[in-house]
């Protein structure tokens, strides 16, 4: 589904250059549940951003479904993110002036889903993540775990094949973390491909594949 070939990412800091990724080659298949682990500053988030078409590699190529996508225009990459990928961030990044259901319906609106259909689906998704009674709540009225569940529902809105999550449990308590992990496993069983950047051993243990990144180099770690 997604391949990275010889990807380098070098940040130009003027006098100094920071190499975040060094010649990374990686393949993620349909239905994978991949945990990307490694110490802080090792390049985990950079790898996720390149895989998620949020950033471009300095060198190397990114291939999505057989198509080279790293050189696509901003507009094409935005469209691909909208219909192919779902994002879950550590700090949720919900729109504070929109209710939970509006946050979930927004990507569908951008994709051109009719009004009734998008709100029906948004309500179903929120019910599925256990927030059926919080559809019209603003993010400020939700707990951290609830906000992350709204963010997950938003990530699933356009039925993406690939879900990318950056430290999705980093700000959550253990009970909330457990619920989020259950959701991820359920989505993976349903056929979604998941790539999760995490520091958390519990999350890493829930994944079917583990990729460790250290000083910009990646290596596959066998899962016990």
Residue 204 Cα to chain centre, angstroms: 15
Nearest approach, Cβ of residue 109 and another protein (Å) = 6
Site for another protein in 157-176 (CB under 8 A): 159, 166
- Residue 93 class from Cβ within 10 Å (0-12 exposed, 13-18 middle, 19+ buried)? middle
Length, in residues, of the chain: 224
**Residues touching another protein, count (CB under 8 A):** 61
Give, in order, the Cα–Cα distances in Å from 4 to each of 18, 19, 210: 20, 17, 16
Binding status of residue 133 toward another protein by CB under 8 A: yes
- Per-residue contact string for residues 35-54; x = within reach of another protein by CB under 8 A: ----------x---x--x-x
Sheet arrangement for strand 67-68: 16-28, 2-13, 59-64, 67-68
Sole residue written with tokens 């349909």: 30
- Closer residue to another protein in complex, CB, 104/210: 104
Nearest approach, Cβ of residue 224 and another protein (Å) = 26
Of 112, 106, 95, the residue nearest 147 (C-alpha): 95
Nearest approach, Cβ of residue 220 and another protein (Å) = 25
Site for another protein in 73-132 (CB under 8 A): 74-75, 78-83, 85-87, 89-91, 93, 95-98, 101-102, 105-107, 109-111, 115-116, 119-125, 127-132
Exactly one of 26, 35, 55, 100 binds another protein (CB under 8 A); that residue is 55
Residue 144 Cα to chain centre, angstroms: 17
Nearest approach, Cβ of residue 35 and another protein (Å) = 20
Pairing of strands 193-197, 209-214: unpaired
- Residue 199 class from Cβ within 10 Å (0-12 exposed, 13-18 middle, 19+ buried)? middle
Exactly one of 59, 189, 214, 219 binds another protein (CB under 8 A); that residue is 189
Binding status of residue 150 toward another protein by CB under 8 A: no
Exactly one of 25, 27, 71, 186 binds another protein (CB under 8 A); that residue is 186
- Other Cβ atoms closer than 10 A to 196: 26
- Other Cβ atoms closer than 10 A to 100: 29
Residue ranges that bind another protein, judged by CB under 8 A: 45, 49, 52, 54-55, 74-75, 78-83, 85-87, 89-91, 93, 95-98, 101-102, 105-107, 109-111, 115-116, 119-125, 127-133, 135, 154-156, 159, 166, 183, 186-187, 189-192
């Amino acid at each position: 589904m997604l391949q990275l070939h010889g990807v380098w990412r070098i940040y130009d800091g003027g006098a100094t250059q920071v190499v975040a990724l060094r010649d990374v080659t990686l393949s993620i298949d349909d239905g994978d549940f991949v945990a990307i682990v490694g110490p802080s500053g090792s390049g985990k988030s950079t790898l996720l951003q390149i895989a998620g078409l949020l950033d471009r590699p300095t060198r190397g190529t990114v291939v999505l479904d057989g198509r080279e996508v790293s050189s696509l225009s901003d507009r094409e990459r935005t469209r691909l993110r909208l219909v192919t990928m779902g994002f879950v961030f550590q700090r949720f990044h919900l729109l504070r002036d929109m209710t939970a259901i509006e946050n979930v319906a927004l990507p569908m609106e951008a994709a051109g889903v009719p009004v009734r259909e998008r709100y029906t689906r948004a309500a179903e998704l929120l019910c599925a993540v256990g927030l059926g009674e919080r559809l019209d709540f603003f993010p400020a009225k939700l707990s951290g775990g609830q906000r992350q569940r709204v963010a997950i529902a938003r990530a699933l809105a356009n039925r993406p094949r690939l879900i990318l999550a950056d430290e999705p449990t980093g700000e959550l308590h253990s009970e909330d973390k457990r619920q989020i992990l259950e959701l991820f496993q359920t989505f993976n069983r349903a056929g979604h491909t998941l790539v999760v950047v995490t520091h958390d051993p519990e999350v890493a243990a829930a994944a079917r594949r583990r990729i460790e990144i250290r000083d910009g180099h990646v290596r596959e770690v066998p899962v016990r």
